Amino acid sequence: MPSNKAAVFTGSKDLGKLAKVVEIEYPTVKDDQLIIKAVAFAANPTDWKHAVFQWNEPGAFFGTDVSGIVDQVGKNVTGFKVGDYVSTFMRGGTERGAFAEYVKADPHLTIKFDKESFDLTPLPVGSSPSSSVKNFEGAASTALGLGTVGVSFAHTLAISENKEENSQRYILIWGGATATGIYAIQIAKLVYGLKVITTASSKNHEFLKSLGADAVFDYKQPSVIDDIVKFANGKIAYALDTVASKETYQQTYDSTKGSDKVAFDNLLAIKSEDLKLNSERKSDTFGATLVYFAIGTTQSVGNTKVEPNQKLISDYKHFWYDLLPPYVQKIKTPSLRILASGLESSNEAFDLLRESKVSGEKVVFRV
């Protein structure tokens, strides 16, 4: 079997010292899994947060986003073959992680791309603009973000698939320039036919409009909530807070004043009890999205073990298999921050995210 290296947790939570590269075994493919030969990785805040706030023992595997080439296909897997160009996501931890030369992947968390449209030339170190997915760097940035949007839209918010009805409805996406926000804007427009209101700093307004946002408001402006309320004119049906702090979730809620029966979602398990609510608005619904529930196995949330939610998994798979594929080639990635190749770049990627030195970009590096 080929040699295999992976980035694992050192046990130190200091800057620059979270990860080290070690030799591990080549993974054994199960009947319902794929083996992917990695080409590129994308770093996410969840990568370093798991290490700093949850992991206590060294040796856990880093990484949630990886792109590459299918190396093996389990005998029960359909729709994939050896040589396919793909990206996938997973939850790093004691069993596996995405930051390895060869990784096990679940088909329902994996996207297949058109090989004919790919440029195999590595992107140079530095910044690379947003584009459709046409290289492994861009592919690496897609799976976790699209999976998150899928769970949110198809399950937590339960957005109607009736595009004719949705053409008169707005979704408010707080944090449109985040990686998830960038994908949420596009999916809301392309897949569901919704009108989109979003927030971002002024430098990102034209970019988000180019993705399909109907209106973009500067979250730094004191009048942002009143401005959104006035623009929406009571037509907001759905609201997703991708920044996910109590402050931003409250702002998201307040911006829907005048709208009725709004479905709310956030990405950090903030509850409605944490908000100041209008007692007269009794038809609103509140939820929270954690994409790892789509994996279909028991997940740890803090000290709590959460068993699989079959309705969530079913809704997510409907999105992943039935709704998303026709639009994969149309979706644009965030801008990319390309680091030097090598798993050793893991620490640099984590430090950039920990110190908030990344804005409107996805940090990516090759194997």
Residue 97: inside a domain, yes or no? yes
- For residue 317, what is the enclosing H or E element? helix 310-317
Give the 3-state secondary structure of 124-151: CCEEECCCECCCHHHHHCCHHHHHHHHH
According to the model, what pLDDT value does residue 360 have?
Answer: 80
Residues 351 and 339: their CA atoms lie apart, in Å, by 12
Residue 221: inside a domain, yes or no? yes
The reply to whether 158 and 114 lie within a common domain is no
Task: Give the residue ranges of the chain where pLDDT is below 70.
Answer: none
Residue 317: inside a domain, yes or no? no
Q: Which residue has the tokens 């790892």?
A: 292
The reply to whether 74 and 124 lie within a common domain is yes
According to the model, what pLDDT value does residue 82 have?
Answer: 98
CATH of the domain at 282: 3.40.50.720
The reply to whether 129 and 152 lie within a common domain is no
User: Which amino acid, 30?
Assistant: K
Domain of residue 348: give its range.
Answer: 4-142+333-366
According to the model, what pLDDT value does residue 96 have?
Answer: 94
According to the model, what pLDDT value does residue 173 have?
Answer: 98
The reply to whether 38 and 123 lie within a common domain is yes
According to the model, what pLDDT value does residue 297 have?
Answer: 95
The reply to whether 171 and 128 lie within a common domain is no
Q: What is the CA radius of gyration of the chain?
A: 20
Nearest to 27 by CA among 35, 39, 15: 35
CB-neighbour burial class of residue 303 (10 A; exposed 0-12, middle 13-18, buried 19+): exposed
Number of domains in the chain: 2
Residue 280: inside a domain, yes or no? yes
